[in-house]
Amino acid sequence: MKIGILTSGGDCPGLNAVIRGVVIKGDKLFEDEFIGYRDGWRGVIDNDYMTLPRRRVRGIGRIGGTILGTSRSNPFHDGEDGAAIVRRHMDDNDIDGIIAIGGDGTLFTANRLYEAGIPVVGVPKTVDNDLDATDYTFGFNTAVEIATESLDRLRMTGDSHHRCMVAEVMGRSVGWIALHSGMAAGAHVIALPEFPLTIDEICAYVKSAWDRGRAPLVVVAEGYVPKDAPEGFMNYELDEFGRPRFGGVAEVLAPLIEERLGIESRATVLGHIQRGGEPTGYDRVLATRLGTAAVDLVHNNGFGRMVALRGTEIVDVPLTEAINSLKSVPRARWEEAKVLFG
Amino acid sequence: MKIGILTSGGDCPGLNAVIRGVVIKGDKLFEDEFIGYRDGWRGVIDNDYMTLPRRRVRGIGRIGGTILGTSRSNPFHDGEDGAAIVRRHMDDNDIDGIIAIGGDGTLFTANRLYEAGIPVVGVPKTVDNDLDATDYTFGFNTAVEIATESLDRLRMTGDSHHRCMVAEVMGRSVGWIALHSGMAAGAHVIALPEFPLTIDEICAYVKSAWDRGRAPLVVVAEGYVPKDAPEGFMNYELDEFGRPRFGGVAEVLAPLIEERLGIESRATVLGHIQRGGEPTGYDRVLATRLGTAAVDLVHNNGFGRMVALRGTEIVDVPLTEAINSLKSVPRARWEEAKVLFG
Amino acid sequence: MKIGILTSGGDCPGLNAVIRGVVIKGDKLFEDEFIGYRDGWRGVIDNDYMTLPRRRVRGIGRIGGTILGTSRSNPFHDGEDGAAIVRRHMDDNDIDGIIAIGGDGTLFTANRLYEAGIPVVGVPKTVDNDLDATDYTFGFNTAVEIATESLDRLRMTGDSHHRCMVAEVMGRSVGWIALHSGMAAGAHVIALPEFPLTIDEICAYVKSAWDRGRAPLVVVAEGYVPKDAPEGFMNYELDEFGRPRFGGVAEVLAPLIEERLGIESRATVLGHIQRGGEPTGYDRVLATRLGTAAVDLVHNNGFGRMVALRGTEIVDVPLTEAINSLKSVPRARWEEAKVLFG
Amino acid sequence: MKIGILTSGGDCPGLNAVIRGVVIKGDKLFEDEFIGYRDGWRGVIDNDYMTLPRRRVRGIGRIGGTILGTSRSNPFHDGEDGAAIVRRHMDDNDIDGIIAIGGDGTLFTANRLYEAGIPVVGVPKTVDNDLDATDYTFGFNTAVEIATESLDRLRMTGDSHHRCMVAEVMGRSVGWIALHSGMAAGAHVIALPEFPLTIDEICAYVKSAWDRGRAPLVVVAEGYVPKDAPEGFMNYELDEFGRPRFGGVAEVLAPLIEERLGIESRATVLGHIQRGGEPTGYDRVLATRLGTAAVDLVHNNGFGRMVALRGTEIVDVPLTEAINSLKSVPRARWEEAKVLFG
């Protein structure tokens, strides 16, 4: 078969390992021919792609990022008939199927195309681990390891200076990275979007740790908004130089903690380092397994479905199970972690 | 309650995180009192233990090894009435329950004691990931990451010198570490104990990679024995200085590959570095979760059971489900990986 | 002899390795007795110290931070007669000499005390590498490695998204960390406080890299101020919630680059992770060597002097050579790096 | 100018960073044209090279190994007139100068060619740090960091099992890697080729650590031979399968320690992982600086010379200063480290 591959949405460690898994298995077992669309759906729309012979994926499994580039384009943009665009491209180029590697938006587009008759399968991608229908997504493990390493460093320097360190990690809508890295680093309190603590509650945990002689470590997800945030607290206005009037939530919290408790506090926003760079061994294995399963899925006519992880096994599920369904941190996991706070 | 904790068997990254999870939850939620036995069951037999107040577990979650030490002692050694020994110790010290963290042997002993009426629960530990009844064991992820990192380095130096690198990783009876690290590092062939390739088969994969212009990377589990190993091939005799007459299987294979294919080959045995050192964030989270669940298990009268991981959840199962039941690499996982060889 | 040790000023990876080097050598070779002042000079002023027997320094060489804690106190604060305070403490406790590990401020205080007759030697510390009279200071190598690793990640994610990544690293007055990590990571432009590029110059380098198909990587030292910064550009006012009205210089630059060149740009401030955590092997060796040399210096009556690195050798120099003398990046090093920009 | 580059001898982290420094500076400042010989001098002899336009070195600075490959060939092999071979190649291809990056053997060949009139400059390379005339060589720092990390892991697992861990690191003739990594990891004894301890001396240090409650860590350089080694101790005979009859010196020592002291001991040979993989930030900076200086040297007619590090500066020296002159660990460094043993 002749199969097109695309990576779409945000960058995520492991994308290249998926591509490699697809191409090597497809080439060896099925003698498939592969092309790679540049920058996600844009490459499909613009007919901009590279050939993907086996040698093109040599050694890329451990490289972060994606050799295909990515973007947030989609063929239905501006009311376009996305299916027609894609169908035309596939006819012109004799493409038998498309493997779309991406997050919620990408999988939604994939499903929409499938419902319009386009042969497409999905591989779920989100560094935030917020996609439903799969136990874990690749990239999440890497982000947690990077965050944990940074939190370890912050904790150590907080200990030396007898300070409270407030660290902000990724997680706009869900707190998975904060939950896992916070637990790994022994945070004294973790603030998630799903269970918004009040500033008072955070301060109580900080004080509890401080009174026991610890330098408190506070981990907040970037999407966490304090339950009792005062008016104007999270102000998104920009000033005349185009700068936001405030920092991330960590930069808001740290001075508040210092003011209320008299404990010197410092904020760090981990930012983009969490999604860049080499994937962990765990993510390389998961991504490779998903890639080999995706090419099987194409050959088994599994269009409209996506590969996923259940326990230790790779399965496939309808795309509809994953899209528009946020996997947030359940209360049981929150309670499990909360007992270790303070 | 007053609860005793012990770590027994081989060292494993994450042991301290389990201990910390147990103590912090037990202290905060139940006001339990903890003691820690030194060097596994030996500490129970010899009444050698340390108190484990909350402050004693401060920051240990990220430290490798075990603050309690470990050994391969067991109270039934030499036909001793292990249950009587343990019961006496518990009566003398008012111990209400024991949490035994260890591998197959430790859990077997724990079950034997339970059947004799001792209140004991288990936490499964094996860096090899060969315990049944749990999807993964802590320490395995760390070992895979360490091995993968080393394999990456070997691959790079092999590329520069146009050599075949043969790496031996942990795995006496099962090939999980070889499977995962080999797949992560893009090995051209992985040799597992479960599916013993012949030396010819290994050479065929090496040649295939070489002919495509690659510096072949061969990953072997330490317990792998070639199917067609000649007489005397794996010779365990010692010489007059007490040295084994041969190296590990990698050191045996490398010269054979060089001889048969004329490709310069070098062996590296990763050895003890795989089980030492700081656990990954993943392992710290898993170990912490198992620890908090273990103390719940004690309070829920779950004696004779052990905590385990199923998918994303922590559950508990009878000890009998885990002991004497080796979790080897299933054929489906072998086939999944094999398609990427060569 | 009975010797007091203190660590003062900002945290820095390697402090514990210095302490360990001092104590082990002093104990083994001279049978010295050591005490460690808590939180720098505060411990001297408040007579707050811990004993430092050999076992107290076991394994601390690889631990970040300082077991003694640190602060910015000094005995001359508020016009106090610092020398009298310290002399009284030393008499009361039979202290024969003090080893002060710290930066410019600490060494200045040490020299002031020396001039008033107090037997004190110095060990230079600055993660910024800005102390004169020594080729390198411990902690700098670790900060550069942490920064380089982060820059690698940023570069990779920038490549995937076709973005310009602007990273801010430590360096309020000098650009050593930016220079070294920027060169290591292949930055397309590095902005140092010593040689303030204009925003136009930065944009020219960014555009040059972009036109060659690269995702530009810009590294700025936190103390860099653009030569042509408009009025109000670097505004230190705080708003009503106590938050600074602007981000770091990276957060100011990124939108400007995006605005002027039309290239999507993202800022990351590496922050406190650069000074926390385990020191590199290099820093552990340097710190250990400086520690052993410091105790020699005390026994050789080298008061008023500090240990330092010259080439591959550890030497000692008068404290006056180091204090108040900033080691900034020399023009030759700037030119050497600049030729690789764009 | 048209300049040829080659990398020769053993692999070493940083080689690619040198190549990149040469090409970018040469291209930008001098509009030089570069070619890269494959596999060292072999590429010169066989006229086998690749063009090295600027884009070819994109991002290679952080990649281990060498994009040019390496070998131990030399044009004087078998009594050939190496100078004639090289001169003919240079005339045929209009090459104005050659930059040879390699160790003692490569620099010797370079000097021999220079004395026969060939315009060649050198860049010193040895992961062992044993080249004279330069303070440090790139790759050494990376090897020390890898070794230190492994030693940390071994120490931790030794602590858990109450074992003596014996680790063998690189260093056939000199003990620099053992000295630095051993000091960084807090080894209780370090055995170097330069100052061969007797087995009894090693055991005394091990016992001293053991008696203080430590799990002893012994670090040996691979070229260390015990002063009192019995007959046949280091037996290089091969058996009928082509395997050496013994392991590395660590594998010989460990059972001896166990036998003499009754302390369980385990050996690990770190092997090839020490020279493979990504160079540290330190090595990338050093290698880049040496590369830019090498192209300057060519343009300044500095043939017959090599670039080197003196303190913090890059200088150039006659090739004759480096060749045939081993930089071993001086006694002062040995004594400095020895005081911390036991």
Active site residues of B: 128
Reply yes or no on whether the pLDDT at A235 is more than 60.
Answer: no
- Averaged pLDDT, A4-28: 97
* Residue of B62, B156, B286 best to disrupt the A interface, most CBs of A under 10 A: B62
**Contact state of D62 with C144 under an 8 Å Cβ cutoff:** no
Nearest chain B alpha carbon to A156: B59
Q: What is the mean pLDDT of chain D?
A: 93
Cβ contacts of A246 on chain C, cutoff 8 Å: 239, 241, 243
Compute the nearest-CA separation of D71 from chain B (Å).
7
Interface A-B, measured as beta-carbon pairs within 8 A, has a size of 119
Number of cross-chain residue pairs from A and C with Cβ atoms under 8 Å apart: 152
- Cβ of A147 under 8 Å from any chain B Cβ? yes
Query: What band does B164 get if pLDDT is binned at 50, 70 and 90?
Result: very high
Mutation target to probe the C interface, by most C beta carbons within 10 A, among A19, A243, A270, A278 is A243
Of A78, A13, A94, which is closest to residue A41 (Cα–Cα)?
A78
* Token pair listed for A287: 């991504």
pLDDT score of D152 more than 80: yes
Q: What is the DSSP letter of C78?
A: G
CA distance C292 to D337: 9
User: H or E element: which one contains C187?
Assistant: none
Is residue D269 within 8 Å of D170, Cβ to Cβ? no
Among D58, D145, D285, the residue with its CB nearest the CB of C280 is: D145
C272 Cβ neighbours under 8 A, 6+ residues apart:
A153, A154, A157, A165, A266, A268
Q: Give which of D305, D326, D304, D303 is closest to D316, Cα–Cα.
A: D305
Give me the helix-helix angle, B281-299 and A140-161, nearest 10°: 80
Place of tokens 């790679």: A36
Of B162-176, B203-217, C247-261, D12-26, which gets the smallest average pLDDT?
A: C247-261
Of A157-171, A283-297, B220-234, the least confident? B220-234
Tell me how close the Cα of D91 comes to any Cα of chain B, in angstroms: 28
Q: What is the percent of chain A with per-residue pLDDT over 70, rounded to a whole number? A: 95
For residue D70, CA distances in Å to B157, B163, D81 come to 10, 11, 21
Domain residue limits, chain B: 2-138+279-323, 140-275
Residues 6 or more apart whose Cβ sits within 8 Å of residue B33: B1, B2, B3
Contacts of residue B12, defined as CB under 8 A and 6 or more positions apart, other chains included, come to: B125, B126, B127, B138, B139, B275
Q: What percent of chain D has pLDDT over 70?
A: 95
Task: Answer whether B62 sits within 8 Å of A184, measured CB to CB.
Answer: yes
CA distance C24 to A324: 62
Interface contact A284-B147, CB threshold 8 A = no
Residue C37's nearest CA partner among C27, C51, C23 is: C51
Inter-chain CB proximity C255 and A239 less than 8 Å: no
* Spatial distance between the Cα atoms of D168 and D222, rounded to a whole number of angstroms: 6
Check CB contact under 8 Å for B281 and A144: yes
Among D12, D39, D160, most B C-beta atoms within 10 A, so best to mutate, is D160
Tell me, yes or no, if B70 comes closer than 8 A to chain D by beta carbon. Answer: yes
Tokens of A58: 């040599």
CA distance B158 to A163: 47
On whether D103 is known to bind a ligand per the annotation, the reply is: yes
Whether residues B277 and D156 touch (CB distance < 8 A) is answered with: yes
Range of weakest confidence among A275-279, B264-268, C141-145: A275-279
Place of tokens 């319009």: A116
| Total residue count of chain D as it appears in this document | 342
For position B235, what pLDDT does the model report?
53
Q: Spell out which residues of chain B touch residue A285, defining contact as CB-CB under 8 Å.
A: 144, 180, 183-184
Q: Write down the pLDDT at residue C80.
A: 85
On chain D, the residues whose CB falls within 8 A of the CB of C181 are 281
Q: Which residues of B are annotated as a binding site for substrate?
A: 126-128, 163, 170-172, 222, 266, 272-275
Best CA proximity match to A249, nearest among A330, A207, A209, A190 = A190
Q: What is the pTM of this model?
A: 0.92
Q: Are C60 and C100 in contact (CB under 8 A)?
A: no
Whole-angstrom distance, CA of residue C284 vs CA of residue B55: 28
B275/D contact by beta carbon, under 8 A: yes
In the annotation, is D128 catalytic? yes
Q: Which structure tokens are listed for D18?
A: 């040198």
Q: What angle do CA A229, A181, B285 make, to 5 degrees?
A: 130
Q: Domain A140-275 sits in which CATH superfamily?
A: Phosphofructokinase domain (3.40.50.460)
Nearest CB to A135 within list B55, B58, B312: B312
Contacts of A141 in chain B (CB under 8 A): 282
- Only one residue has tokens 């690499």, namely B329
What integer best gives the mean pLDDT of chain A? Answer: 93
Residue with token string 């060569």: B342
- Can A2-138+279-323 and A140-275 be said to share one CATH topology? yes
Nearest to A333 by CA among B16, B30, B292: B292
CB atoms within 10 A of CB C130: 22
Look at residue B243 in the predicted model and tell me its pLDDT: 47
pLDDT band (50, 70, 90) for residue B246: very low
Query: What is the C-alpha separation between B211 and B204, in angstroms, rounded?
Result: 10
Q: Judged by CB atoms within 8 Å, which residues 192-231 of B form the interface with A?
A: 212-214
Q: What is the pLDDT of residue D243?
A: 47
| Contact residues on chain A for B312, CB-CB shorter than 8 A | 135-136
Nearest residue in C to D332, CA atom = C313
- Percent of chain B at pLDDT above 90? 83
Active-site residue identified among A11, A27, A32, A128: A128
Complex prediction ipTM:
0.94
Q: How many CB atoms lie within 10 A of CB A115?
A: 12
CB A221 within 8 A of CB A169: yes
Residue C270 in 3-state DSSP?
A: coil
Please enumerate in sequence order all residues whose Cβ is within 8 A of that of A297, keeping only pairs 6 or more positions apart, or say none. A121, A305, A307, A316
Report the pLDDT value the prediction gives residue C69, as an integer from 0 to 100.
93
Closest D-chain CA to B234: D241
* CB < 8 Å to D292, chain C: 336, 339-340
pLDDT at res. D235? 53
Beta-carbon contacts of residue A154 (< 8 Å; ≥ 6 apart): A165, A167, A217, A268, C272, C273, C276
Closest CA to B165 of C337, D272, D245: D272
Cα B242 to the center of its chain, rounded Å = 27
pLDDT bin (cut points 50, 70, 90) of residue B233 is: low
Half-sphere exposure of D98 (CA within 13 A, CB side): 32
User: B2-138+279-323 in CATH: which number?
Assistant: 3.40.50.450
In this complex, do C62 and D184 lie within 8 Å of one another by their Cβ atoms? yes
Residue D151: burial class (beta carbons within 10 Å; 0-12, 13-18, 19+): buried
Burial bucket for residue C79 (CB in 10 Å: 0-12, 13-18, 19+): exposed
Whether residue A70 and residue C276 make contact (CB cut-off 8 A), yes or no, is no
Task: Please list the ranges in chain C whose pLDDT falls under 70.
Answer: 232-247
The answer to whether B34 and B51 have CB atoms below 8 angstroms apart is yes
What are the chain B neighbours of D155 within 8 Å (beta carbons)? 276
Q: Which residues contact D53 (CB under 8 A, 6 or more apart)?
A: D27, D34
Q: Taking CB atoms and an 8 Å cutoff, what residues of chain D touch B244?
A: 247
Side by side, the strands of the sheet bearing B313-318 are B49-51, B33-37, B2-7, B97-102, B120-124, B305-310, B313-318
DSSP-based three-state secondary structure for B190: strand
* CA separation for the pair B62, B51 (Å, rounded): 20
Does the beta-carbon distance from B339 to A29 stay under 8 Å? yes
Average pLDDT over residues B265-270: 92
Q: How confident is the model at residue D323 (pLDDT cuts 50, 70, 90)?
A: confident
Is B62 in contact with B284 (CB distance < 8 Å)? yes
A115 residue type, one letter: E
What is the band of A246 on the pLDDT scale with cuts at 50, 70, 90? very low
Q: Give B 27-66 residues with CB within 8 A of chain D.
A: 39, 63-66
Task: Classify burial at D237, counting beta carbons within 10 Å of its beta carbon; exposed 0-12, middle 13-18, buried 19 or more.
Answer: exposed
* Chain B residues 229-268 with a CB less than 8 Å from chain D: 232-233, 239-247, 251-252, 255-256, 259, 266-268
Residue D150's pLDDT band (cuts 50, 70, 90): very high
Q: Do D64 and B272 touch (CB under 8 A)?
A: no
- D133: which chain C residues are within 8 Å (Cβ-Cβ)? none
Backbone angles phi, psi at C116, to 5 degrees: -95, 10
Name the minimum distance, in Å, from the CA of D82 to any CA of chain C.
35
DSSP letters, A184-204, are: HTT-SEEE-SSS---HHHHHH
State whether residue C67 sits within 8 Å of chain A by CB: no
**Are residues C273 and A150, on separate chains, in Cβ contact within 8 Å?**
yes
What lies within 8 Å, CB to CB, of D162 at 6+ separation is B39, B69, B71, D215, D264
B272:D157 CB<8 A: yes
Residue A327's SS3 state is coil
